[in-house]
Amino acid sequence: MARHLSGSQLAMWLDGEAPHFDDHVDQCEKCAARLSEVDEPQADLRPALLTLLKPPPDLESRVSARIAARLKAREEMALLGGLLGVSIETGRIMFDEND
């Protein structure tokens, strides 16, 4: 092949955006070698990303504990609201002017 593909053309081909370069990549050893060099770091990148993005081992227990704490707080607020409601109703009964 007289002309090799540029880095951006190779990147486009890797992304599937330039299928018209298929024949060149299949026949050109230099471009195929450049593609394999470009593709190698990506093979190392996947395990590194999986390691970085792996959730902490105690995530489930921490989330469960926070959910339990929120539910308990809601129950306590509902109880407090109920007690306050009883107080208000008692006051209404005691001070109702219609009786």
pLDDT by residue (tens digit) across 1-45? 458 888 788 888 878 888 888 888 888 888 888 877 766 656 667
pLDDT of residue 58: 94
Q: How far is CA 44 from the centre of its chain?
A: 21
Question: HSE of 72 in the Cβ direction (CA atoms, 13 Å)?
Answer: 6
The mean pLDDT value of the chain amounts to 82
Residue 99 pLDDT level (bands cut at 50, 70, 90): low
pTM of the model: 0.39
Closest alpha carbon to 28 in 59, 1, 6, 61: 1
Going from N- to C-terminal start, the domains of the chain cover: 7-53, 58-99
Asked whether residue 80 carries a pLDDT value surpassing 80, the answer given is yes
